[in-house]
Chain A
Amino acid sequence: MTSIEAHVQQPYKYGFVTDIESEVVPAGLNEDVIRLISAKKGEPAWMLEWRLKAYRNWLKMSEPHWPNVKYGPIDYQAISYYAAPKQRPKLDSLEQVDPKLVQTFEKLGIPIEEQKRLTGVAVDAVFDSVSVATTFQAELAKFGVIFMPISQAIREHADLVQKYLGTVVPHNDNFFAALNTAVFTDGSFVYVPKGVRCPLELSTYFRINASSTGQFERTLIIADEGSYVSYLEGCSAPMRDENQLHAAVVELIALDNAQIKYSTIQNWYPGDDEGKGGIYNFVTKRGKCAGRNSKISWTQVETGSAITWKYPGCILQGDNSIGEFYSVAVTSHKQQADTGTKMIHLGKNTRSTIVSKGISAGRGQNTYRGLVKIMKGAEGARNYSQCDSMLIGDKCGAHTFPYIDVRSSTAIMEHEASTSKIGEDQIFYLRQRGLSSEDAVSMIVNGFCKEVFKELPMEFAVEATRLLGISLEGSVG
């Protein structure tokens, strides 16, 4: 082993299990399970119908195998589709949350107790299939901002949910989106009214705890005309030898002059050095810039999961709308990632920017896959794409698949790509100046990712830098 490869052995720090009594629906998927989930959530009939429609479609669909990842068959009948900690049926205040759950989130750095809340950040904490606490709801309501678990929104804001849910990611969009539509359990709902700049960062933290379950969350964010919201999601899961499925759907809608900034720090359990265990992260995320001059910006830092399959994209429908995608994806150990974005230009003078940074270490395989599509009516559309790959060691891989489909003669496209390798000479240079090899790697990697990190909200940029340090700790020596 060269000294460069000598360290990819950092244990996952969020791999603990919370010992809590849970209600788990027996494994298996059929219409009765879907009816049960819908009943548990107290959903209206239209919601159940939509779920069942998605399920019937899903039965006719097949799992996509075009991503550049390898894994064994998934037994969808071996997964439990609902797991929730047993607790008092109605929560009047956060103080009634089971202390074990409070402790769990605190251990993850997500304080949900009244007196310890993160300043400036409202948090929705989702544990397995349910949201257990949402902070600052009342304060946000003063501004007309709705921030609540989606199950609650389906009951309390049916008009908004019904108007927008499934309009960006249809129920039959793809295999995993259809599955999610059929069985999704919780997630966050955000509505920012006209002209309101959301005064807090909104954030959801997803925790998988129960074994043999999957997590299927659904997030819907609507930014009404002239509004602005910044939203961040984080996640983690216990270390287990089994693979657990996480198939989420996120839909964003930005109306005229509205802006949504969506950031993800993904730290699902990545599996061990030999690739045993870890989360299958098969996610559909899409935003629609429905209004003129609207803007949707995706920033993701992907360090976890055994397999990642996600392409947060933007449909640039409104004239002059802007889509952005900033990504850092790290694969170490035996992790595999096939991630990128889709930018679909429909409106005039729409612009998109793609900055992707892939880091491969250990035996990780990292694929960037991106589509830029400029339709006929999208006069004056522009895209700038930059894909950079960094290799650490000589057993990992980096792959790039940029797809470009331009049907407008006025389109301007730019694409830049680079591949670099952290070499002994770079590390030695920094060590010769007194930095440890860990600090040297961290400095090189952070410099490489800088263009993406600067897009993160400040509090989270620090977290992302730290997380990247941990997941690469040990990859160079």
Chain B
Amino acid sequence: MTKGKALLEVQGLRVAVAGNEILKGVDLAIRDGEVHAIMGPNGSGKSTLAQVLAGHPAYTVLAGTAKYEGKDLLDMKPEERARAGVFLAFQYPVEIRGITNSYFLRSALNALRRERGEAELDPIDFLQFLEQKLKAIGWDDSMMNRPVNEGFSGGEKKRNEILQLAVLEPRLAILDETDSGLDIDALKTVAETVNKLRAPSRAFLIVTHYQRLLNYITPDVVHVLADGRIVKSGGPELAHELEAKGYDWLRDAAMVS
């Protein structure tokens, strides 16, 4: 099950937002190429974990460490994390008026390329690059000339996040409830794309409330987050167990421990 060296190592992470402690000591280790799923009831802190790993300024780290490629992730600005290969597919992607998806993606890609000391792509080179990436995931370019997320349906916004993931090719992709609000066809499309993007040099952290996404993406490890702590970890079978039994038995376990 374990494939490469540790990409992300989180230890004793405690996080507060607006004075409320949400994460109360999270430990997590993700190796290169692994797919981890974080499941848990509403309010357990799943999205907080995703946001804090990406560096959202509204969250305050109270204690603990997070090492990414051996570096102190928590000390890096959000854009530094992004340029180092950390990608967050947002639960609620924002709209940016007047800026096309294509321009936005090229700016983002060029920011990453600058960081890696690679030449920036001009609009023509970028179109070719994009064409390749779209082809690889079997998507068309219909979203590219629309303003970023403006007027997109919920499903289109989520697909757009996955499209960005495909173009920006992160080392660590965090999917924050990407499945929420998707109908079954869109869910399948997203899952198939994620499967195509799985690679030995890329790890996924998939945050989800329901097990249904995991019917299509088989994780290496499933963690259950309850009340700010990971209360149970296991293989893909744990997701099915949760689907059958719900979260309550684990929440009780968390209280006891």
A binding-site residues for B, Cβ under 8 Å: 3, 424-426, 428-437, 439, 443-444, 446-451
A–B Cβ pairs within 8 angstroms, 13 of them: A426-B94, A428-B78, A432-B54, A432-B82, A433-B164, A433-B168, A434-B111, A435-B107, A435-B108, A443-B104, A444-B99, A448-B97, A451-B98
- Residue from A428, A432, A436, A447 whose CB has the most chain B CB atoms within 10 Å: A432
Contact between B96 and A443, CB atoms less than 8 A apart? yes
6 nearest CB pairs, A to B: A447-B98, A434-B111, A450-B98, A433-B108, A447-B99, A431-B78
Q: How far is the CB of B18 from chain A (nearest CB, A)?
A: 13
B115 to chain A: which residues have CB within 8 Å?
Answer: 434
Let me know if B56 is at the binding interface, CB within 8 A: yes
Docked pose: A429 CA to B93 CA in angstroms: 7
A443 to chain B: which residues have CB within 8 Å?
Answer: 96, 99, 104, 107
Selected from B82, B92, B104, the residue in CB contact (under 8 A) with A431 is B82
Q: How far is the CB of A388 from chain B (nearest CB, A)?
A: 9
B binding-site residues for A, Cβ under 8 Å: 54-58, 77-79, 81-83, 87-88, 90, 92-94, 96-99, 104, 107-108, 111-112, 115, 147, 164, 168
B94 to chain A: which residues have CB within 8 Å?
Answer: 425-426, 429
B83 to chain A: which residues have CB within 8 Å?
Answer: 434
Q: How far is the CB of B202 from chain A (nearest CB, A)?
A: 17
Q: How far is the CB of A424 from chain B (nearest CB, A)?
A: 6
Q: How far is the CB of A472 from chain B (nearest CB, A)?
A: 15
B112 to chain A: which residues have CB within 8 Å?
Answer: 434
Contact between A432 and B96, CB atoms less than 8 A apart? no
Q: How far is the CB of A30 from chain B (nearest CB, A)?
A: 51
Known contacts A434-B108, A435-B108, A449-B98: does B57 contact A424 (CB below 8 Å)? yes
Docked pose: A383 CA to B88 CA in angstroms: 44
Contact between A424 and B82, CB atoms less than 8 A apart? no
Given A433-B164, A447-B98, 4 additional A-B pairs, CB 8 A: A3-B57, A434-B115, A443-B107, A451-B98
A451 to chain B: which residues have CB within 8 Å?
Answer: 98
A3 to chain B: which residues have CB within 8 Å?
Answer: 57
Q: How far is the CB of A390 from chain B (nearest CB, A)?
A: 9
Contact between B111 and A435, CB atoms less than 8 A apart? yes
Docked pose: A217 CA to B54 CA in angstroms: 53
- Residue from A432, A434, A444, A451 whose CB has the most chain B CB atoms within 10 Å: A434
Contact between A448 and B98, CB atoms less than 8 A apart? yes
Docked pose: A432 CA to B147 CA in angstroms: 18
Docked pose: A425 CA to B47 CA in angstroms: 14
Selected from A424, A429, A436, A447, the residue in CB contact (under 8 A) with B58 is A424
Docked pose: A468 CA to B231 CA in angstroms: 51
Selected from A426, A428, A434, the residue in CB contact (under 8 A) with B96 is A426
Known contacts A435-B108, A435-B111, A443-B107: does B98 contact A429 (CB below 8 Å)? no
A432 to chain B: which residues have CB within 8 Å?
Answer: 54-55, 78-79, 81-82, 87-88, 90
Contact between A447 and B96, CB atoms less than 8 A apart? yes
Docked pose: A448 CA to B111 CA in angstroms: 22
Kindly report which residue of chain A lies nearest to residue B78, judged by CB atoms.
Answer: A431
Docked pose: A253 CA to B253 CA in angstroms: 82
B78 to chain A: which residues have CB within 8 Å?
Answer: 428, 431-432
User: Chain A interface secondary structure, helix, strand, loop or mixed?
Assistant: helix
A436 to chain B: which residues have CB within 8 Å?
Answer: 79, 111
Q: How far is the CB of A169 from chain B (nearest CB, A)?
A: 34
B87 to chain A: which residues have CB within 8 Å?
Answer: 432
Docked pose: A454 CA to B78 CA in angstroms: 32
Q: How far is the CB of A6 from chain B (nearest CB, A)?
A: 11
Docked pose: A3 CA to B104 CA in angstroms: 23
Contact between B79 and A434, CB atoms less than 8 A apart? yes
Selected from B79, B81, B97, B147, the residue in CB contact (under 8 A) with A435 is B79
Kindly report which residue of chain A lies nearest to residue B51, judged by CB atoms.
Answer: A428
Selected from B57, B90, B97, B107, the residue in CB contact (under 8 A) with A429 is B90
Selected from B82, B93, B147, the residue in CB contact (under 8 A) with A447 is B147
Docked pose: A184 CA to B142 CA in angstroms: 56
B107 to chain A: which residues have CB within 8 Å?
Answer: 433, 435, 439, 443
Docked pose: A434 CA to B169 CA in angstroms: 12
Kindly report which residue of chain B lies nearest to residue A444, judged by CB atoms.
Answer: B96
A434 to chain B: which residues have CB within 8 Å?
Answer: 79, 82-83, 108, 111-112, 115, 168
Contact between B96 and A431, CB atoms less than 8 A apart? no
B81 to chain A: which residues have CB within 8 Å?
Answer: 432
Docked pose: A444 CA to B107 CA in angstroms: 13
Contact between B108 and A431, CB atoms less than 8 A apart? no
Kindly report which residue of chain B lies nearest to residue A437, judged by CB atoms.
Answer: B79
Q: How far is the CB of A475 from chain B (nearest CB, A)?
A: 16
Q: How far is the CB of A23 from chain B (nearest CB, A)?
A: 48
Contact between B77 and A431, CB atoms less than 8 A apart? yes
Kindly report which residue of chain B lies nearest to residue A423, judged by CB atoms.
Answer: B94
Docked pose: A431 CA to B86 CA in angstroms: 11
Docked pose: A234 CA to B27 CA in angstroms: 59
Docked pose: A451 CA to B98 CA in angstroms: 8
Docked pose: A451 CA to B92 CA in angstroms: 26
Docked pose: A3 CA to B55 CA in angstroms: 13
Contact between B98 and A446, CB atoms less than 8 A apart? yes
Q: How far is the CB of B126 from chain A (nearest CB, A)?
A: 15
Docked pose: A428 CA to B90 CA in angstroms: 11
Docked pose: A444 CA to B96 CA in angstroms: 6
A444 to chain B: which residues have CB within 8 Å?
Answer: 96-97, 99
A430 to chain B: which residues have CB within 8 Å?
Answer: 96, 108
Docked pose: A450 CA to B98 CA in angstroms: 6
Q: How far is the CB of B82 from chain A (nearest CB, A)?
A: 4
Docked pose: A298 CA to B42 CA in angstroms: 53
B99 to chain A: which residues have CB within 8 Å?
Answer: 443-444, 446-447, 450
B88 to chain A: which residues have CB within 8 Å?
Answer: 432
- Residue from B81, B87, B96, B98 whose CB has the most chain A CB atoms within 10 Å: B98
Docked pose: A431 CA to B54 CA in angstroms: 10
A446 to chain B: which residues have CB within 8 Å?
Answer: 98-99
Q: How far is the CB of A427 from chain B (nearest CB, A)?
A: 9
Docked pose: A117 CA to B74 CA in angstroms: 51
Docked pose: A447 CA to B78 CA in angstroms: 22
Docked pose: A435 CA to B81 CA in angstroms: 11
Docked pose: A429 CA to B58 CA in angstroms: 13
